[in-house]
Structure 1
Amino acid sequence: MAQMAEAQSEARRIGEVIRQARVLQRRSQKDVAAALGYHQSKVSRLESGRGTQDVRMLREVAQVLDIPPHRLGLAAASNASPSDPETEDMHRRTFLAAGITALAAQPSLAAPHHDLVQVLLPGTTPVATGQVLGINELRDRTRTARRLFCTCDYTELERTLPSLIADLRRATDGSSGSADASALLATAYQTSVSLLLKRADQGNAWLAAGRAMAEAERSGDPVALAASVRVHAHVLVREKHTAQAVNIIRHTADQLTGSYDQRSPRYLAAVGLLLLRGATAASRNGDRDTTEDFLTEAREVARYVTFDRPDAWANFSPTNVALHQVSAAVSFGDAGIALKTARPLMRRHIPVPERRAALWVEAARAYNQQGRLADGYQALRIAESCAAQDIRRPAVRELVADMAARDRRRTLPALHHFSRQLGVPA
């Protein structure tokens, strides 16, 4: 039973690889199907993880979308010919078995994390609350989940998301499955992506991102689509596919930017956050001009957003634009510029704990770049006071490990004690 679930997960992963390749090439399912000589439904089934056992079909898809065969569990062309289905099938079985073994070898997940991953898997029937909930109640619960993320209560969020997703899936599967329910489900999946990335679980974040994109497309809501593209790009950046992330954000933003005085706050927040993700991707790609282009457009959007509060859908504001300027400067190694930009923000009230913590973590990175370890340590302790759980995520623990390693003479005992508290190896 467990192996069947893992095989389904692998099929879903292959489907997501196909979908990502198609989206990055800006091709429709109909276009790809025509190139393959099949009906569109065939491509749709593949992207949902069904029919991936058809090796010949996968080879054709790999060729049309220029996907490296190994990413679809196929042998390289030099090792097995498409006319040798027995060899191909043997390789495929080995690939699936290896994937299952690798998953089985991973440390056991905490129960809430396990429940979240299970509800993301294809073919599973999530356990709902047992009540038929109205759209307004589902919307309130989705807002609560977003608020838990903004306040960095990741433990409670892990407990909340599985049942929320289950109830939303039931709402979308019903005879009256509405576009509103699909948009809310997309938001729940987007929140799952953000949480999983905080936990450095890129593999399952890919799965959640694919789910989010599918529900956003189903809803027909441009705001839900923009948010799904944003989290998709976030995963791409984490996997160091920064150029692809920039391209997909630019393509989406081109269709959504402009006429800001006529847009709702929810629309502006989604577009603004998409642009800020573009700035992050471009800065990680070392592209200063594109980073500034995204930040400039984000500032323009921020002119029409006057609030600074944990919003139900997003937390875009002029303050968040400035925070991303700090982050970009750190990415470029411009520690002095980063700290100069950060100082006014340190004196400003930032109501979202996750954003407050982000400011001080970026300041710690800048201080570390300058070799100012004592200042960096103090910045991290302030970040901890803003959001204790956020400081315990892997990315921050890596920063602490680096700072502790640089203090070879152990002149900062408090830093090393802090490192031990976080469970960072000496």
Structure 2
Amino acid sequence: MADGQDQGRPLGEVIRRARVLQQRSQADVAASLGYHQSKLSRLENGHGTEDTRVLRAVAAELAVPLHHLGLAPPTTPPTADHEAEDMRRRTFLAGSAASLAAPSAPPAQHHRELVRALLPGLPSAPSDHVPSLPQLSARVSTARRLFCTCDYAELGRILPPLIDDLRQAARAADSAPAGTVTGLLATAYQTLTGLLLKLGDGGSAWMAVGRAMAEGERSGDPVVLASSVRVQAHALARGKHSSHAIALVRHTADQMTGAYDRRSPRYLAALGLMLLRGVTAASGAGDRAATQEFLGEASEVARHVALDRPDAWANFSPTNVQLHAVSAAVALGDTGVALETAQPLMGRRIPVPERRSALWVEAARAYSQQGRLADGYRAVRIAESCAAQDIRRPAVRELVADMAARDRRRALPELHHFSRQLGVPA
């Protein structure tokens, strides 16, 4: 199923771009075709594109040339005028994509330092003061807290020197047990992977994944390795390799599940978060069976552990499982289910800002899919109040841009003002 989706994603993107260029909502186009909005949402995500009858109907409605959807070969060679028009269109689309992808935090110099921290190089000269293991552990905990509180600018500043010090400590002959230091280094690389994915830098994130996996294996700690598997599955799913992410999570979970009443909170949190990454990958691929499988197992793990604080080693709890159920429902096009699941969470105290923001962003996606742009806008602004830097990442900026583009009559001037503030005017 995922392989078919991978092939369908380019077609889905053609449909989405044509719709956005015409400033039409999913609900509007779907209604004109006699479909439910969720069907068009799934098409734009690469699902169901093998149905040529549906593709032809969409092509006719959006005036998409059939050969752009693989339904016919180009009928005439391009003329100079056509080439000029194509160039203008490609320039417009490239400019739009670039504006959506540009991260606002951390600053560019810190981003360069993040990438530099991943590159191989000669060992640095021994420092006069090598940080102790407790000091390094405290700094890693600080990095995790900054990620959970969405302070990406400060996180981007402290991660490179932290990774340098951890590398030096791992090389030092008189350091603490190598497994302990490499475990901390793996955790730093895991955090860096998450930050780079938030910023839309998938290429650098893959380098960080490789580093995290290597250090996780060196540590000999199954918990650290499971956490590295989690970020690898995240990168795979983000790179549209959902079937591989699902298989990776399932294989690793098979080796860790069971005897939950005898496991440490740290072990259970690592396993639970990995299962939730499986939920994200499976729902993104439209695999309902795998989504429910991972959600069910994560719920069972959550009966035995609740780490729900920004300063915790990992943030896993029953609340986190419910948040992923909301996200999965949105990805599957079940917006009514998503909002119904989200409703009790909206009045609950969620201590981790990144999780609070995620709840309202997913609610905004659900409202947007239903055509409730005013509710979607309000949800995004609540997410901003939870974690201002988090809503400036590319994925949320694209959501705001899409909502603004669909408000053709400008009934929500505040939405257009906000999209301009984010640098993505309709």
Category of TM-score, reference length = shorter chain: 0.7 to 0.9
Whole-angstrom CA distance in 2 between matches of 1:242 and 1:122: 29
Kept after mapping to 1: 8 A contact 2:272/2:301: yes
Matched with 1:45 is none
- C-alpha displacement of 1:295: 0.4
1:389-408 matches, cutoff 5 A: 389-408=389-408
- Distance (whole Å) between structure 2 residues aligned to residue 329 and residue 261 of structure 1: 30
What per-residue deviation string (whole Å, max 9, x for no partner) do you get for residues 142-163 of structure 1?
0000000000000000000001
Unpaired stretches in structure 2, ≥5 consecutive residues: 1-100
SS of match in other structure, 2:389? helix
Is residue 314 of structure 2 the alignment partner of residue 314 of structure 1? Answer: yes
CA positional deviation for 1:311: 4.3
Name the Cα RMSD after superposition: 1.7
Q: Which residue of structure 1 aligns with residue 416 of structure 2? A: 416
Equivalent position of 2:144 in the other structure: 146
Identify the residue that residue 297 of structure 1 maps to in structure 2.
Answer: 297
Partner of 2:118: 120
Correspondence for 1:169: 167
Q: Give the CA deviation at 1:307.
A: 4.2
2:367 & 2:223 partners in 1: Cα distance? 37
Note if contact 1:148-1:154 (Cα within 8 Å) is conserved in structure 2.
Answer: yes
Shift of 1:175: 1.6
Q: Residue 120 of structure 1 aligns to a residue in which SS?
A: coil
After alignment, is 108-117 or 329-338 more displaced?
108-117
Structure 2 Cα separation of the partners of residues 155 and 129 of structure 1: 26
Letter of the structure 2 residue corresponding to residue 168 of structure 1: L
Structure 1 residue 261 displacement after superposition: 0.7
The Cα shift of 1:285 comes to 1.0
CA distance in 1, matches of 2:359, 2:317: 14
**Change in CA separation of 1:271 and 1:125 when aligned onto 2, cut-off 3 Å:** same
Offset at residue 127 of structure 1 (A): 8.2
Asked if the contact 2:234/2:245 (under 8 Å) is kept, the reply is: yes
- Counterpart AA for 1:388: A
- Which is worse superposed, 176-185 or 140-149? 176-185
Q: CA deviation at 1:279?
A: 0.7
Q: 1:130 to 1:208 in 2, by over 3 A?
A: farther
Alpha carbons 1:129, 1:167 under 8 Å: kept: no
> Where does residue 158 of structure 2 map in the other structure?
160
- Which residue is equivalent to 1:346? 346
Instruction: Count the aligned residue pairs.
Output: 321
TM-score (norm 2): 0.73
* 2-structure distance, mates of 1:107, 1:414: 22
Give distance in 1, aligned partners of 2:125 and 2:186: 18
Write the distance in 1 (CA, Å) between the matches of 2:129 and 2:151: 26
> What is the deviation of 1:411?
0.5
Greater RCO structure (CA 8 Å; 6+ sep): 2
> By how many angstroms is 1:257 displaced?
1.0
Task: Say whether the 8 Å CA contact 2:261–2:304 is kept in structure 1.
Answer: yes
1:275 aligns with 275
Contact 1:118/1:124 (<8 A) preserved = no
Partner residue of 1:211?
211
Letter of the 1:115 counterpart:
E
- CA deviations on 1:330-378 (whole Å, 9 max, x unpaired) are 0000000000000000010000000000000000000000000000000
Hey, what's the Cα distance between the residues in 2 that align with 1:271 and 1:131?
A: 36
1:306, distance to aligned residue in structure 2 (A): 3.5
1:305 match: secondary structure: coil
Supply the AA of the counterpart residue of 1:181: V
Moved more, 124-133 or 135-144: 124-133
Indicate whether 1:232 and 2:232 are aligned: yes
Partner of 1:249: 249
Are the equivalent residues in 1 in contact too, given 2:102–2:394 (CA < 8 A)? no
Distance 1:143 1:339 in 2: 34
Q: Matched residue of 1:132: which SS?
A: coil
Structure 1 residue ranges without an equivalent (≥5): 1-105
Matched, 1:372 2:377: no
Alpha-carbon distance change, 129 to 323 in structure 1, aligned in 2, over 3 angstroms: farther
- One-letter code aligned to 1:371: G
CA deviation profile, 1:37-79 (whole Å, cap 9, x unmatched): xxxxxxxxxxxxxxxxxxxxxxxxxxxxxxxxxxxxxxxxxxx
Distance 1:152 1:129 in 2: 31
Tell whether the 8 Å contact from 1:145 to 1:161 is kept in structure 2 after alignment: yes
Distance 1:403 1:286 in 2: 23
CA shift at 1:314, angstroms?
1.0
AA aligned to 1:142 is V
Partner of 1:56: none
Looking at structure 2, the residues matched to 247 and 181 of structure 1 have their Cα atoms a distance apart, in angstroms, of 29
TM-score w.r.t. the length of structure 1 is 0.73
